[in-house]
Amino acid sequence: MTLTELRYIVAVARKRHFGKAAEACFVSQPTLSIAIKKLESELDVRLFERSSKNEIRITDIGQQIVDQAQKVLRETQVIHEIAQQGKDPLSGPFRLGAIYTIGPYLLPDLIPRLNTATPNLTLIIEEDFTANLARKLKNGDLDAIVISYPFDEPGIATTPLYEEPFVVAIPPGHAWNEREDIAVDELAGQDLMLLGAGHCFRDQVLAACPKCMSQSSELTRKLEGSSLETIRHMVAAGTGITVLPCTSLLNRHSNRELVRIKPFADPRPGRVVALAWRKHYPRSEAIETIAEAIRGCDLPGVKRIDDADQAA
């Protein structure tokens, strides 16, 4: 049985005439006769009563089958409609993941931007650790993720979005209160609070300040499962100091008077935030659009990385 045969029997049922049905199907009359004969033979059922002079009649069973054939053809049409509607890569659901230390600062700006730029794109947001995001991306549970370098996974492509310097956060009464900037190595003697294992930001800070590595282990252990906001509050309370990505310094945070922010002295440590997706992900246009939207976000202190820079 083929869809063509079904179209033919529906045409014959409508026209009640082989020649006219053939014309309506844009085929010759023998084509139609043979096709119907083939279908009748396959189903082992007589669909039409041929009479040479008068119009063709449909058998009872033929009518039932023609009705069902029409249903099949309608459902087939739906496939075309789905394809037509879904052809735009900028429509439909898009599952975007982001790490904990980026999501809360990037997404409030990004989501309204995308909703305006691509109203048919339904964003579904998920925050998690890099490792979990990577797994979900590979699974297909996510379509793209916002992470920070280093990030190299087989089958995954990335594009850098912006470079984000780190800054130091100290309580108001701290000895560094009047300092212009802080050298990375100076962190070693301080009560440095960092996020727990799993947060890539922790590793990035420690990588930037190798001397902190041994010293901070006990303190940071207490902050497993914490967040930058919690740590910021602890800084305000005088428990210690911390390092923050500059995007977390959005002016909507009410406690900004309670912590002092100091930049690092050159060479300033930082990280590159990137978008990652499966190499064979078909909606590349959606990827590009989202990458551009992120680059266009108004984030404090970051240095945007354009596609051209990436190639260099």
Nearby residues of 75 by Cβ (< 8 Å), 6 or more positions away? none
Q: Which of 9, 11, 13, 36 binds DNA (CB under 7 A)?
A: 36
Give the closest residue to 58 by CA, choosing from 49, 66, 67: 49
Residue pair 39/1 in contact (Cβ under 8 Å)? The answer is yes
Q: What phi, psi does 197 have (nearest 5°)?
A: -60, 145
Cα-only R_g, the chain: 32
Question: How far apart (Å, rounded) are the C-alpha atoms in residues 218 and 205?
Answer: 16
DSSP class per residue in 131-171: HHHHHHHHHTS-SEEEEESS---TTEEEEEEEEEEEEEEE-
Residue 264: which of DNA, a copy of itself, none does it interact with, CB under 5 to 8 A by kind?
none
Size of the site for a copy of itself (CB under 8 A): 45
Size of the site for DNA (CB under 7 A): 26
Question: How far apart (Å, rounded) are the C-alpha atoms in residues 275 and 309?
Answer: 15
- Quick one: 22 or 223, whose CB is closer to DNA? 22
Amino acid of residue 6: L
Residue 61 engages a copy of itself in binding (rule: CB under 8 A): yes
Residue 279 engages DNA in binding (rule: CB under 7 A): yes
Residue 84 engages DNA in binding (rule: CB under 7 A): no
Q: Which of 9, 56, 66, 243 binds DNA (CB under 7 A)?
A: 56
Q: Which of 26, 41, 93, 173 binds a copy of itself (CB under 8 A)?
A: 93
Q: Which of 19, 30, 49, 303 binds a copy of itself (CB under 8 A)?
A: 49
Binding site for a copy of itself (CB under 8 A): 1-3, 6, 43-46, 49-51, 53-54, 57-61, 64-65, 68-69, 71-72, 75-76, 78-80, 82-83, 86-87, 92-93, 138, 140, 154-155, 278-283
Binding site for DNA (CB under 7 A): 2, 4, 17-19, 26-31, 33-38, 50-53, 55-56, 154-155, 279
